[in-house]
Amino acid sequence: QSVLTQPPSVSAAPGQKVTISCSGSSSNIGNNHVSWYQQLPGTAPKLLIYDNNKRPSGIPDRFSGSKSGTSATLGITGLQTGDEADYYCGTWDSSLRAGVFGGGTKLTVL
């Protein structure tokens, strides 16, 4: 079982918006910075969001992140078929003294 909890799957139509949740605790999300990753089939993960809501250069503003308490959310607007991928949240857990990830959410663009 993953330390961070994500829904296994979400879906939406092209052009629509989707949100992916990530739930944790005070030892991880509550007191550390959250990051989000996109993993296209057969490829390595790619950083989408860091420090809860910041985008690395080259990541379009269709991707956004937020954090409230012990939960975080990834938002994707203007969905494209190329956005179909697995999405993971991650952070540090201060009690475990280890990095932790969510179990991943598979996005389907219908």
Partner 1 sequence: EVQLVESGGGLVQPGGSLRLSCAASGFTLSHWMSWVRQAPGKGLDWVANIKEDGSAKFYVDSVKGRFTISRDNAKNSLYLQMNSLRAEDTAVYYCARDQLGYPGESFDSWGQGTLVTVSS
Task: Decide whether 18 or 72 has the Cβ nearer to partner 1.
Answer: 72
Give the Cα separation of 90 and 33 in Å (integer): 9
Q: How far is the CB of 104 from partner 1 (least distance, A)?
A: 4
The answer to the question of residue 98 lying near partner 1 (CB under 8 A) is: yes
Instruction: Give one DSSP letter per residue of 5-22, joined into a string.
Output: B--SEEEE-TT--EEEEE
Positions in 45-84 near partner 1 (CB under 8 A): 45-47, 50-51, 56
Cα 13 → chain centroid: 19
Q: Count residues binding partner 1 (CB under 8 A).
A: 28
Q: What SS3 state is found at 73?
A: strand
Q: How far is the CB of 51 from partner 1 (least distance, A)?
A: 7
Using CB under 8 A, list all residues that contact partner 1. 2, 32-35, 37, 39, 44-47, 50-51, 56, 86, 88, 90-92, 96-104
